[in-house]
A and B are shown apart, each in its own frame.
Chain A
Amino acid sequence: MESIGVLMACPMNSYLEQQLEKRFKLYRFWTVPDKSSFLASHKDSIQAVVGNAGAGADAELIEALPKLEIVASFSVGLDKIDLAKCKEKGIRVTNTPDVLTEDVADLAIGLMLAVLRKLCESDRYVRSGKWKRGDYVLTTKFTGKKVGIIGLGRIGMAIAKRAEAFSCPISYYSRTEKPEIKYKYYPSVVELAAHCDILVVACPLTKETHHIINREVIDAMGPKGVLINIGRGPHVDEPELVSALVERRLGGAGLDVFENEPYVPEELFGLDNVVLLPHVGSGTVETRQAMADLVIGNLEAHFQKKPLLTPVV
């Protein structure tokens, strides 16, 4: 398999790079000075693309690689892959579901606690020496708060299970109601937003869910509402969110993703009711290794003509 060319879209994990190099001819796309001439000269040797949440395989890249057989994403999200084009050309697509579900759900709860209980700000308070002058402010209890989940897939369900242990009543919005689920369903995001204290985005990013958190939803959340986004930056109309937070029309936010990573609106930096993380939802040593093993496993299976481990297309 050493002659099979694999194009890695961007840096994502050095263990994965190592493992890919052992088995294939690895091309690191981000090190190439002229991407279009590279593609022109290597189009016949690249049979696989490895992408992630930041970069995948759009129509242009797919068209430039006539020998492309498989796109293996180092993520569960598929928004950076032109799935329709892959289907059209018979290109297989795999992702990394399940192995990262727990980490992402854990982080969602961690963000809720950090925002409501002002954990990051309390830590800052202690480090600044201000505790000697007086106690920190009162915060808001997390136990018992109403949690509204947009998207009740693997990650949404894992968030619900954790929040239930804190006696949080759970409600959700999904494309269709799930009758076997005991949580309260709302047929629109605005209604869900109006009936919960903490709203968490846990659905895939598609054309339909782009800016699913807009001005109307933010208004429905109100000045005590807290938004948690562990989905994708473009789920949220970011300028609307920023002005709502700056103007205190929204109670707080815990954000792991942004519209234009790694750029984060600086107006958010000084807000004590906002926690900002650098897209670390699956960012643990254990999970990134499991994700890498899944990418390798899928590629090996494909080129050995065995069934794919986690196919999407």
Chain B
Amino acid sequence: MAAEDQSQASQSDLPYVLILKPPASFLLFGDHFFDSPNFQYLKAYESPLPLPHFLHTHAQSIQALLSSGGAPVTADTIRLLPRLGLVVTTSQGLNHIDLSECRRRGIAVAGAGTIFSADCADSVVGLLIDVLRKVSASNRYVKQGLWSSQGTYPLGYKLGGKRVGIVGLGSIGTEVAKRLEAFGCSISYNSRSKKPLVPYTFYPNVVELAANCDALIVCCALTDETHHLISKEVLSALGKDGVIINIARGPIIDEKELVRCLVKGEIRGAGLDVFEHEPDVPVELFALDNVVMSPHSAVFTRESFDDLCKLVVGNLEAFFSNEPLLTPVALDDLPHFSGRKD
């Protein structure tokens, strides 16, 4: 056979990976970002067919699915894919995947592992210093020429010695703790269960954690149990000298209540990378200098995307060569994720 024909023949032998919607990486780097010579992609979003019809047409060819936060993998979708053996997600969060259904069907899930933990922790520290020391607000002040016309900017608050309460002491929470200890902060946490080998103070519920800290950091997964975990009661316990930082998922905080507290000055400030209805952000926050916001970009560094590329391709290649996944998600021990989108 001619070389061209040969490559076409081997192309059609390559296993298929389904993509429902383009991940952020494709928008930033183009849709060859996760390419590999060992498999090919089937892009549902490029087909004129309605999704169920598309899935029905290709059901027998799809063994793996590449998912991202904006493209939920529901039980309905999974049921249309009888040969599905693997879901790989580009996100840290897993709340958009029906993990119970995956477990039931024996479908493996590969996550982000710890590749994003450093960047997430760095974002937490950056936002916390920004809120306490008014970095963004005073940068705005200087860049509007107000330092020379209006004088000194109001004082901020010291980070050193503050009590930090971490909600969810997973990989990200642990990296946050390690960093903030170097700033002289004392660390406490709430997690589904106490971690015996950890030197930090454990509080059995978030209200008690909030009552005993000056900065509450949300680092946990979004599950049915953690939806609106940061409630009016928690914010009230945090109090007017307390700040909250959220780089996890918007719905973990009762956003209406958070906005009310911030507008009324019932808490000191907030650093928010995530919101309940992204990309919509409550406009009341735009008038507040004690709030620092970012557009769900805690992991948006070149380095994290390079690592993500290697990880996604690595997991898919391992799957198709019957080798162990690089970052398998343990489906036995997880709280209930109902698979609804953020």
Contact = CB atoms under 8 A, between A and B. Distances in A.
Interface of A: 102-103, 106-107, 109-111, 113-114, 117, 119-120, 122-127, 131-132, 134-144, 161-162, 164-167, 261-264, 266, 268-270, 275-278, 280, 283-288
A283 B24 contact: no
B303 interface: yes
Interface in B258-296: 278-281, 286, 292-296
B129 to A, nearest CB: 3
B148 A284 contact: no
A131 B159 contact: no
Nearest to B24: A135
A122 B152 contact: no
A119 B179 contact: no
23 contacts: A102-B158, A106-B129, A107-B129, A109-B129, A110-B133, A119-B136, A122-B293, A123-B292, A125-B295, A134-B27, A135-B24, A136-B300, A138-B28, A142-B126, A261-B147, A262-B151, A264-B148, A275-B135, A275-B139, A280-B133, A280-B153, A283-B133, A284-B133
B239 to A, nearest CB: 16
A106 B183 contact: yes
Given A123-B294, A164-B182, A138 B301 contact: yes
B233 to A, nearest CB: 28
Contact of B141 (A114, A143, A278): A278
Contacts of B151: 262
B131 to A, nearest CB: 10
Contacts of A142: 122, 126
Contact of B136 (A123, A138, A161): A123
A166 B179 contact: yes
Contacts of A136: 294-295, 297, 300
B156 interface: yes
B119 interface: yes
Interface in B118-146: 118-119, 121-123, 125-127, 129-130, 132-136, 138-145
Contacts of B148: 262-264
- Chain B contact residues, majority secondary structure: helix
Given A132-B280, A275-B135, A276-B142, A141 B182 contact: no
B157 interface: yes
Contact of A287 (B121, B126, B158): B158
Contacts of A277: 135, 138-139, 142
A182 to B, nearest CB: 16
Contacts of B334: none
Interface residues of B, number: 60
A75 to B, nearest CB: 14
Contacts of B103: none
B139 A110 contact: no
Nearest to A128: B286
A190 B178 CA distance: 32
Contacts of A124: 136, 140
Contacts of A285: 155-158
A101 to B, nearest CB: 9
B160 interface: yes
Contacts of B145: 266, 269
B226 to A, nearest CB: 24
A276 to B, nearest CB: 4
Given A114-B126, A119-B294, A127-B293, A283 B156 contact: yes
B61 interface: no
Interface in B156-209: 156-160, 178-179, 181-184
Interface in B83-136: 118-119, 121-123, 125-127, 129-130, 132-136
